[in-house]
C-alpha cells in the first residue's frame, strides 16, 4: 500500500514585498544627467573658472557673450560664467545639506512616532503641525532678518521649514506599513523598535521617501533663491544663483546675459529634479515576482 505524503510550505512569517527593480525612461535619465552635472560643477567647477569670481575683468558692464566671456559680464564687469560656477557650490551645497537634515530628522521621527504611537505620537504631531502652518518664506525672512545671514543659519532655517512636512509624510507611510502582517509577526517575536524601523518599515517606504526628498530639494532651492533675491541669502562677496539674479536685475530690460544665465541655471536644476522624481514611481513600480 502506497503511502501518500503531503508537502507543506512553511508559512511561519508573511512574505514581505520584494525589493524594487529600478529602471528609468529617457526623461528620467535626462533629469539624472543634469542633476549629476550640476553636482559635479558644485564640487570641482570653481577650479576650472577662467577668472576669479570677484575680479573685475571687463570695463563694459552687462557685457555680451564673447569668446573670452562665455556668459557675458555683470553689472561691475565680472565674468558671469565664473560666478555661476562658484554660485553652484552655494546653491547646490546649501540646498543639499538642508534637505538631507530635514528628511533625515523628519523620516526618523515619523517612523518612531508610527511605531511608538500613544502620547509621544500625539504630542509630536500636534507640535509639528502647528509649526508647519507658518508660511515658509515668511519664517525664513523673519529668522534671517533677526539672526543674520550666514551659511549655517540658512541651512538650519531651511531644515526647520521643511522637516515638519517630511515628518508628516514619513509618518503616514510608516503607519500603513506598521499594520502589515510581517511587522506584526516581528513584534510578536519580540523585536524592538529599532529593529522594526530599520529592517521592516524603512525598506518599504524608501521609494516614496526618495521622491519626497527630491521634491523638497526643489522647494529649498526656490526658497533659498527667493531669500537671496531679497538680499537675505548668501552675502557678498559670495553669491548663489538667486543673488546673481538680484545683482543684475537692472540688466533684464537690456536682455543682459548676466541675469538670464543664472535664471536658466536655477530652472535647469529644478526642472531636472522634477523630471527625475516624476519618473521615480515608474521606476519602482515593477517588482520581482
Secondary structure of residue 251 in the 3-state scheme: helix
3-state helix, strand, coil in the chain (%, to 5): 70, 0, 30
Nearest CA to 60 out of 119, 100, 239, 68 is that of: 68
pLDDT at 273: 92
pLDDT at 95: 94
% of residues, the chain, pLDDT over 90: 41
Question: CB within 8 A of 215, min separation 6: which ones?
Answer: 273, 274, 277
Burial 173-185 (b: 16+ CB within 10 A, else e): bbbebbebeebee
**Residue 27 belongs to what H/E stretch?**
helix 26-44
CA distance 194 to 112: 9
**Residue 250 belongs to what H/E stretch?**
none
Per the CB < 8 A criterion, the answer to whether 31 and 272 are in contact is yes
Domains of the chain are: 31-283 (1.10.3720.10)
Extract the residue ranges of the chain whose pLDDT is less than 50. Answer: 1-11, 19-20, 285-289
Question: Which residue is it, cell 550640476?
Answer: 38
pTM (predicted TM-score): 0.83
CA distance 64 to 172: 52
What is the per-residue pLDDT across 23-38, written as a single tens digit (0 to 9) for each?
567 888 899 999 999 9
Half-sphere exposure of 62 (CA within 13 A, CB side): 13
pLDDT at 155: 94
What is the per-residue pLDDT across 190-219, written as a single tens digit (0 to 9) for each?
888 888 888 889 988 988 898 899 889 999
Give the orientation angle of helix 202-229 with respect to helix 136-147, to 10 degrees.
Answer: 60
CA distance 84 to 201: 41
pLDDT at 187: 84
pLDDT at 286: 44
CA distance 258 to 60: 12
| Cross-strand partners of 78 | 56
pLDDT at 245: 92
Half-sphere exposure of 11 (CA within 13 A, CB side): 5
CA distance 61 to 116: 61
Report residue 60 as a C-alpha cell: 563694459
Question: Which residue is it, cell 509577526?
Answer: 185
Report residue 174 as a C-alpha cell: 510608516
Nearest CA to 140 out of 66, 68, 65, 224 is that of: 224
CA distance 143 to 216: 20
pLDDT at 279: 77
pLDDT at 239: 86
pLDDT at 9: 44
| Cα→Cα distances 164→136, 140, 170, Å | 11, 15, 10
Give the orientation angle of helix 136-147 with respect to helix 151-178, to 10 degrees.
Answer: 140
pLDDT at 261: 94
Report residue 209 as a C-alpha cell: 521617501
pLDDT at 34: 94
Amino acid at each position: 500500500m502506497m503511502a501518500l505524503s503531503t508537502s507543506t510550505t512553511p508559512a511561519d512569517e508573511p512574505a514581505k514585498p520584494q525589493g524594487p527593480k529600478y529602471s528609468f525612461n529617457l526623461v528620467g535619465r535626462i533629469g539624472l544627467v543634469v542633476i549629476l552635472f550640476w553636482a559635479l560643477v558644485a564640487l570641482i567647477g570653481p577650479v576650472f573658472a577662467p577668472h576669479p569670481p570677484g575680479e573685475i575683468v571687463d570695463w563694459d558692464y552687462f557685457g555680451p557673450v564673447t569668446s573670452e566671456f562665455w556668459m557675458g559680464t555683470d553689472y561691475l564687469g565680472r565674468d558671469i560664467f565664473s560666478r555661476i560656477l562658484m554660485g553652484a557650490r552655494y546653491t547646490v551645497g546649501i540646498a543639499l545639506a538642508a534637505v538631507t537634515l530635514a528628511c533625515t530628522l523628519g523620516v526618523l521621527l515619523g517612523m518612531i512616532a508610527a511605531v511608538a504611537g500613544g502620547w509621544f505620537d500625539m504630542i509630536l504631531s500636534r507640535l509639528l503641525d502647528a509649526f508647519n502652518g507658518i508660511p515658509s518664506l515668511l519664517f525664513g525672512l523673519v529668522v534671517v532678518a533677526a539672526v543674520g545671514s550666514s551659511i549655517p543659519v540658512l541651512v538650519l532655517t531651511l531644515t526647520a521649514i521643511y522637516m515638519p512636512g517630511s515628518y508628516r509624510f514619513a509618518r503616514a507611510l510608516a503607519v500603513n506599513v506598521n499594520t502589515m502582517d510581517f511587522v506584526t509577526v516581528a513584534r510578536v517575536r519580540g523585536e524592538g523598535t529599532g529593529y522594526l524601523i530599520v529592517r521592516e518599515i524603512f525598506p518599504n517606504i524608501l521609494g516614496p521617501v526618495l521622491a519626497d526628498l527630491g521634491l523638497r530639494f526643489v522647494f529649498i532651492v526656490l526658497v533659498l533663491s527667493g531669500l537671496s533675491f531679497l538680499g537675505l541669502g548668501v552675502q557678498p562677496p559670495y553669491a548663489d544663483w538667486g543673488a546673481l539674479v538680484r545683482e543684475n536685475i537692472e540688466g533684464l530690460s537690456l536682455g543682459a546675459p548676466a541675469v538670464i544665465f543664472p535664471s536658466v541655471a536655477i530652472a535647469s536644476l529644478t526642472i531636472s529634479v522634477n523630471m527625475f522624481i516624476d519618473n521615480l514611481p515608474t521606476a519602482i513600480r515593477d517588482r520581482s515576482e
